[in-house]
Amino acid sequence: MFIDKETSEIANGCEIEAGTNLYIEVEGLDDMVSGSFVGIMENGDFVITPPLRFDKIRENLVQSEKIIVKYPYQGSILEVETKYIGFVTEPAELVLFEKPVKINRREQRSEKRFICFISVNAELFGKKKNGIIRDISRNGCRCNFVFKEDEEIPVKRIDRIILRCKFPGISEEKEITGEVKNYLIHGTIVTFGILFIDTADDIQKIIDNYILSIEDFS
């Protein structure tokens, strides 16, 4: 039976909200898989939505002696060691895991940047410009914007910038405000080093989730 709460404790003092993306390391799989947290049972076992390709990875879950479930928590990464229990179809398709046997809290280095490729647009000098976020950290990113050969590039006039982009798995475009810390001009390409400022909690959670999903591949 579920404990009916929007927020539950997956471990002592470590809260998790329903709908939180969980990233799962399974023995025998090269890539992490992910599912959304649903709730916790009265005995401490927890439930998630089935990961993509569940039918193909189910045998790996069954045979794995140790499964690590990760999610961002207060600027760090919680790594939960657990085991697969089973799969149910009623009242919905759900995957069950045992009550965590071990919790490891790993600090997420805010200065570490991860290579990425996220389309972005921003208004620069009164014109909408499309660009690419080429690497990202919890607190900032580097963006490339391409200008025409005959365009003036008065970058010294920029101190703040609003980036609009869609993160993978997020349908809506999100706005991130940043302070331009440095720039580099190479031909018609301008690279901005940006420090995120006044980042809302929901945006920070999206950034943290994205970094967690790519950090093992960077």
Q: What confidence tens digit (pLDDT) does each residue in 155-187 have?
A: 666 778 899 999 988 889 999 999 988 888 888
**In the chain, ranges of CATH 2.40.10.220 domains:** 114-217
pLDDT, tens only, 90-127:
888 899 999 887 888 776 555 678 889 999 999 877 77
Annotation: CATH topology of 7-107: Pnp Oxidase; Chain A (2.30.110)
**In the chain, ranges of CATH 2.30.110.10 domains:** 7-107
Closest C-alpha among 200, 155, 201 to residue 181: 155
Q: What would the mean pLDDT of 42-69 be, rounded to a whole number?
A: 88
pLDDT of amino acid 10 = 64
Residue 63: half-sphere exposure toward Cβ, Cα within 13 Å: 8
What percent of the chain stands above pLDDT 90? 26
pLDDT of amino acid 3 = 47
pLDDT, tens only, 18-54:
888 888 888 888 778 888 889 888 888 899 999 888 8
Helix/strand number for the chain, H first, E second:
2, 16
pLDDT of amino acid 155 = 63
d(CA 94, CA 90): 8
The pTM (predicted TM-score) of the whole model is 0.61
pLDDT of amino acid 13 = 55
Q: Is 34 left (phi over 0), alpha (psi -120 to 50) or beta?
A: beta
Annotation: CATH topology of 114-217: Thrombin, subunit H (2.40.10)
Closest C-alpha among 175, 211, 178, 172 to residue 192: 178
